[in-house]
Amino acid sequence: MTTVMTDCYLSHNLGDDLFLTTLISRYPHVQFMVSADRSYVFLRGMFPNVNLLIQPNHCSNLISKSFWYFIKKYRHNKATRLSDVLVTIGGSLYWEQSGNKSVKARIDEARRLHGDRRKAREAKHHIVIGANFGPWHSDNFLNYYRDYFAYNCDDVCFRDRYSANLFSDVPTVHMAPDVLFGVQLPQVPKCHKAFFSVIDPHHPKYCMSSTQADAYDWMMVALMQRYAARGYELVLCSFCQAEGDERTMERLSNIMHEQGISVRLLRYRNDIREVLEELTSSEVVVGSRFHATILGLSAGAAVLPVMYSAKTAHVLEDIGFDMGHTIDLKTDGWKDKPAEMLPEAICFDVTAQQAGAAGQFAALDHLVRGR
């Protein structure tokens, strides 16, 4: 049996969890090694072909943290050496912090870059699936990963042309539509319902000022008022508790409650199917989360992408989506606009992307079949 060591981001984020479960379910006769804490034990019940390398959830002091860091690194390296292939799967895996970096930021970045190369060197084969590149701000960063992809990876499949074109001189680099375009969605009837995926604009990863964060909240309120006035049931969904989605959900829910508008709350807590059923049965999806947009398009909903990062724009431009029906949080054009001035959600055919998403797995398919 082929053994795969997985390298992925696990923090109970719906999109990243779906990356992993899509990978595992595609290869039922492959043994997957997954390094995670005990909160991911539920994977054992879902997949008999998963071997969890359990890490501690919390470490109380510096000595304990250091001890478990080296234990985790040792176990990961050993599992990688024993596996037939290392699969790195995820979205925004290769990014560089902007501006003047603090000493800590420089150390963290150096550790991350060194860690990527170390893991790849331990592997017999190394395949990267589903990623995008950036944001990046220096030629040193770009050139580091040009060498990395050329000499430490058997295959790198990006999800957007922008990323792939940055490394057009590297033969192992190519692109295919996002992995989650290929997810098998539940067969459920559509309801007169609007599904809102939120982010926490106060979270450091979004680099938004308090004024911008407040403006985001009120824009989402305006959109919910729009669809409530049209008779839609409203569902607010958190994709990632750890990144603060639920705080935003509670804030917006309280505002709507004060206005006498009913909103149903949905918290992702490892039940992937629950969220997919709610999203797939919705006629409208307002997607602040990248994968809310991808899944909404796949479900045939009218989608309004709310973009916090260029990665969403790159993918939507690749497929020919009308960018006039998006909201770019990195610009000022959306701020303080009444609902009637904000873009409308639209439907867009992604049949080609749904078929093409299998291309993300082409290299791994070939390797598994050849064993």
Specify the pLDDT at position 101: 76
> Where residue 287 sits, what CATH number does that domain have?
3.40.50
Q: Report if residue 256 sits inside a domain.
A: yes
Q: Is the pLDDT of residue 106 over 70?
A: yes
Contact 271, 330 (CB under 8 A): no
Give the residue-averaged pLDDT of 276-301: 98
Specify the pLDDT at position 71: 75
Tokens of 167: 């490394």
231 and 154 in one domain?
Answer: no
Backbone angles phi, psi at 149, to 5 degrees: -65, -35
CA distances from 13 to 181, 242, 274 (A): 17, 8, 14
Q: Is the pLDDT of residue 245 over 70?
A: yes
* Pick from 123-132, 172-181, 332-341: least confident: 332-341
- Beta-bridge mates of residue 282: 191
Owner of token pair 């994968």: 291
pTM (two decimals): 0.95
257 and 147 in one domain?
Answer: no
Q: Is the pLDDT of residue 73 over 80?
A: no
Contact 88, 179 (CB under 8 A): no
Q: Report if residue 283 sits inside a domain.
A: yes
Q: Is the pLDDT of residue 63 over 70?
A: no
Q: pLDDT exceeding 90 applies to what percent of the chain?
A: 85
- The answer to whether the Cα torsion of 60, 62, 65, 68 is positive or negative is negative
175 and 33 in one domain?
Answer: yes
Give the residue-averaged pLDDT of 300-311: 97
**Helix or strand (DSSP H, E) at 120:** helix 103-122
Specify the pLDDT at position 58: 61
Q: Is the pLDDT of residue 60 over 70?
A: no
pLDDT band at 131 (very low <50, low <70, confident <90, very high): very high
291 and 263 in one domain?
Answer: yes
Q: Is the pLDDT of residue 64 over 90?
A: no
Give the residue-averaged pLDDT of 306-321: 98
Specify the pLDDT at position 187: 97
Specify the pLDDT at position 265: 98
65 versus 28: which is more confidently predicted?
28
Specify the pLDDT at position 62: 64
251 and 317 in one domain?
Answer: yes
DSSP E strand stretches across 178-290: 191-197, 233-238, 264-267, 282-287
Q: Is the pLDDT of residue 329 over 80?
A: yes
138 and 16 in one domain?
Answer: yes
Range of the domain at 338: 191-353
Backbone angles phi, psi at 369, to 5 degrees: -65, -30
360 and 322 in one domain?
Answer: no
Specify the pLDDT at position 61: 67
247 and 316 in one domain?
Answer: yes
Give the residue-averaged pLDDT of 341-356: 97
Q: Report if residue 113 sits inside a domain.
A: yes
Specify the pLDDT at position 256: 98
pLDDT band at 371 (very low <50, low <70, confident <90, very high): low
Buried b (16+ CB within 10 A) or exposed e, 83-100: bbbbbbbbbebbbbbeee
Count how many domains the chain has.
2
Look over the chain and give the mean of its residue pLDDT values, rounded to a whole number.
Answer: 94
pLDDT band at 97 (very low <50, low <70, confident <90, very high): confident
The closest alpha carbon to 76, from 33, 127, 24, belongs to 33
> Where residue 10 sits, what CATH number does that domain have?
3.40.50.2000
Specify the pLDDT at position 259: 97
- Beta-bridge mates of residue 235: 195, 264
- Beta-bridge mates of residue 88: 7, 128
